Structure 1
Amino acid sequence: MLLEIHSKLPMRNKSNTRDFYEHLGFHSLGDIDYAEYLMMKKDQIEIHFFLFKDLNPKENYGMVYIRTNQIEQLYQRFIDDKIAIHPNGKLETKPWGQKEFSILDPDNNLLTFGQKA
């Protein structure tokens, strides 16, 4: 039986990644600070990161779809906190019945937040 999924995304700089996700409201997990690995959590969501120093962000296609039950509030909080919304990812209702918006992290990993419309 499958119970959970925790995505693993590339990062070039652990400190920059941690700072970005803390700004989103995530906090670090774990008792040991591994030099090449980072685990972040917010509510029931965990995102793990592995060090990839040679990553070219323009060639990174890392993506995560995160479901929420407060899409408008989350979107407004990101706007208020000056978190850049993806130019093609403004909050809107999609043809497939989801209300969504997207942001990019410092390594060009795409985070899409969605809620049933």
Structure 2
Amino acid sequence: MLKAIIPKLPMRDKAATKAFYIESLQFSEIGDYGDYLLIRKDNIEIHFFLFEALDPVQNYGQIYIRVADIRTLYQGYLDRGISIHPNGPLTIKPWGQQEFSLLDPDNNLLTFGESS
């Protein structure tokens, strides 16, 4: 039986990844194993693997995170100065989801969504 899915994303610099996710997005570190980092916030867990040769322009890593109270989350990120993707401000999509997106330091796309 399937229980959960945990995305694994590339990172070039663990310190930059920690700063973004832990300090800015307020995730917690749950494991640091040299070239492998684990973080969590609420019921969301993300793993990162070191990929120093990653070209961020060529990175197509992306995850979709379903949330509750998306407007509060969005405003909180804006209030903390987190950059929203230029093509990803909070909007209602044709499929009925409220969504917004941002990029992490390695150009992994994070899209947050809530049913309208």
Query: TM-score band, normalised by the shorter chain?
Result: over 0.9
1: distance between equivalents of 2:100 and 2:19?
21
Q: Percent identity?
A: 59
Cα distance, 1:70 vs structure 2: 1.0
**Following superposition of structure 1 onto structure 2, how do residues 85-100 of structure 1 map, counting pairs within 5 Å?**
85-100=84-99
- Counterpart of 2:66, as a letter, is R
Question: 2:3 maps to what in 1?
Answer: 3
TM-score under structure 2 normalisation? Answer: 0.98
* Residue pairs, 1:53-92, within 5 angstroms: 53-92=52-91
Q: 1 CA distance for matches of 2:4 and 2:19?
A: 25
Aligned match of 1:103: 102
Amino acid at match of 1:16: A
> After TM superposition, what 4+ stretches of structure 1 lie above 6 angstroms from structure 2?
none
The offset of 1:16, in angstroms, is: 0.5
Alignment coverage as a number of residue pairs: 115
Query: Residues of 2 paired with 1:19 and 1:27: CA distance?
Result: 11
Which residue is equivalent to 1:15? Answer: 15
Cα separation, 1, equivalents of 2:82 and 2:100:
12
Structure 2: unaligned runs, 5 residues or longer: none
Deviation at 1:67, TM superposition (A): 0.3
Instruction: Please state how far the C-alpha of 1:5 moved relative to its aligned partner.
Output: 0.5
Q: Which residue is equivalent to 1:44?
A: 43
Structure 1: which 5+ runs fail to align?
Answer: none
Quote how far apart the aligned CAs of 1:116 are.
Answer: 0.1
